[in-house]
Copies of this chain bind each other. A is one copy, B any other.
Amino acid sequence: MLESQRKIFPFRIVAIQTLRHGTAFDPRGLAIDPSFGPHVQSAEEFLDRAKPEVVVELTTLNPSTGEPAISHIRAAFARRHHVVTANKGPIAHAYSALAQEASRAGVEFRFESTVMDGAPVFNLVRNNLPGCKIRGFTGVLNSTTNVVIEAMRAGRTLAEGVEEARRIGITEADASFDIDGWDAAAKTAALANVLMDARVTPLEVDRRGIARLTPEKLLQLKDQSKTIRLVSRARSGPNGIKLRVRAEVLAETDFLASARRTSSLIVFDTDLMGEIGTVELNPGIEQTAYGVFSDLVDIAKNSV
């Protein structure tokens, strides 16, 4: 993607740190398929040698802590580097603190890919809804449960549904993160932290997954022209912000039910602009990459 857009957006990659392939440096810009040298031991040492303007953080997530991504991002802010991450952990667990550190360092912190890949969600509110207050949102944000629910609705078991999601490549080794609603809860917390200043972690989301659903239940609902989606909801009220992830029974014709397979959608409830939302149909890995790319472009534009 960077290569195809190079004429208009000439980003230069000065270093790459990987877990398995080692580390690559070239202040003049690395080739597409760079040769990796020995693995630099720490993120700090890597950043001190690389001297980038922007750090792109894409490590594997520990969903219950947000580490090591949070430490990497802090190391970057300490060196006054802008940060783009596709990791929802830091946004779900530590957004408020990280945003303050970025602000103190005078750098940007972007994370469009953490929810709905590259579809504009955070940047939609940031760039297109001036003056609007987000009072709540409703979304279908987890693909694995969409696939599992459709499989059970066709009479197959939950395990068979998980296997299908794994074949598509959307499920981690430990599918319980999706099935038990943790992925949806992390996205719900991330959205609420950024858009509603909620200052919560995924643990504070009232969460129930789809583990207790059965093919029998879904076939019975099908006879009534109904189905189920794992729905994320946020609502700001007099007693604070309520966050919930639930398997909700919906009419087949419900807008929320139109999120199938890897598709996802979100609707924001706003004060000035009513209910508006974003949909993403059948995305793949390219769309996650695009979220990082669009964040990079935004930072570059703001830095000119």
Contacts and interface: CB of A to CB of B under 8 A. Distances in A.
A127 B128 contact: yes
A119 B125 CA distance: 11
Contacts of A287: 273-274
Interface string A41-58: 000000000000000000
Interface string A244-280: 0000000011110110000001010000111111111
Q: Give the contact-size bracket for chain A.
A: 35 or more
Contact of A119 (B8, B120, B273, B286): B273
A279 B294 contact: no
A284 interface: yes
A279 B252 contact: no
A209 to B, nearest CB: 24
Contacts of A225: 225
Contact of A283 (B132, B274, B280, B286): B274
A136 to B, nearest CB: 13
| A128, A131, A287 interface centre (most CB from chain B within 10 Å) | A128
B293 A131 contact: yes
A130 interface: yes
Contact of A279 (B127, B277, B290, B298): B277
Contacts of A5: 131, 272
Copies of this chain, how many? 2
A159 interface: no
Interface string A173-204: 00000000000000000000000000000000
Contacts of A252: 252-253
A130 B118 CA distance: 11
Interface in A4-28: 5, 8-9
A297 interface: yes
A1 interface: yes
B281 A279 contact: no
Given A124-B124, A297-B130, A118 B255 contact: no
